[in-house]
Amino acid sequence: MADETVVGGDDWVAQVRAPEGLTVIRKADSDERWVGLYGDDAHDLDVTGMLAAVVGPLADADISVFVASTFHSDLVLVPEAQKATAVGVLEAAGHTVREADQIRIS
């Protein structure tokens, strides 16, 4: 494994260190853009099904996701081109979606 454990700079969103290496989520320099959907409600770690309730409907709608989870919530990234569809799918599944600085779901 590489010795690097932290990436510097202010533009990163998340860093995950796993046995196979370091994954960094940061602003893209390419034309491929993703939008973050962030869970608004913190929940205990022993509550099951929270993430599945969000990614399940998106998968059923054939919307790709990239997920990063924290102690407080989950960040679900969807392709920017599918943002409106993803919001509609989540609302149809019973979630409340509101836009602020980032999209929040509950």
Higher confidence at residue 38 or residue 3? 38
The parent domain of residue 21 ranges over 1-28
Q: Are 2 and 23 in contact (CB under 8 A)?
A: no
* Total tally of structural domains belonging to the chain: 2
CA distance 90 to 95: 5
pTM above 0.85, yes or no: no
Look at residue 106 in the predicted model and tell me its pLDDT: 44
CATH number of the structural domain spanning residue 97: 3.30.2130.10
Query: What's the pLDDT band for 28 if we cut at 50, 70, 90?
Result: low
Q: Write out the DSSP string of 16-73.
A: EEETTEEEEEE--SSS--EEEEEE-S---TT--SHHHHHHHHHHHTT---EEEE-SS-
